[in-house]
Amino acid sequence: KQEVTQIPAALSVPEGENLVLNCSFTDSAIYNLQWFRQDPGKGLTSLLLIQSSQREQTSGRLNASLDKSSGRSTLYIAASQPGDSATYLCAVTDQGGSEKLVFGKGTKLTVNP
């Protein structure tokens, strides 16, 4: 059974700092990995999608890496801003039939002005 873990559960940083969020998964048989952002009480916004054959993806100040063999991904946020404050969720698309997403519990990020 696929399990996804995100560390840390919460992170508070001053504005301008570079930071890394971590995600690990137990079964390397995945199609892809997605990072999402969730604002309080809202739906999920897709940030980056990394296919299982890829090593990293970049979008603006965000860079996500994937090491499938070790079951790890990182989300790097450069020059953090208060508007980056949100919960960041990592999810893998399982190969087990229905291509469902298996999520971690998220990392709650607070960027202080």
Q: Given the complex with another protein, which of 77 and 89 has the nearer CB atom? A: 89
Sole binder of another protein in the list 35, 71, 93, 109 (CB under 8 A): 93
Residue 56 half-sphere exposure, CB side, CA atoms within 13 Å? Answer: 9
Q: Given the complex with another protein, which of 101 and 111 has the nearer CB atom? A: 101
Ranges within 61-90 binding another protein (CB under 8 A): 89
Residue type, 30: I
Q: Using the rule CB under 8 A, is 57 a contact of another protein? A: no
Q: Using the rule CB under 8 A, is 32 a contact of another protein? A: yes
SS3 content of the chain, % helix, strand, coil (to 5): 5, 60, 40
Q: How far apart are CA 34 and CA 104, in angstroms?
A: 11
Sole binder of another protein in the list 22, 49, 62, 72 (CB under 8 A): 49
Distances in Å between the Cα of 101 and the Cα atoms of 10, 12, 51, 82, 93 are 22, 27, 14, 29, 5
Residues that bind another protein (CB under 8 A): 4, 31-32, 34, 36, 41-46, 49, 51, 89, 91, 93, 97-106
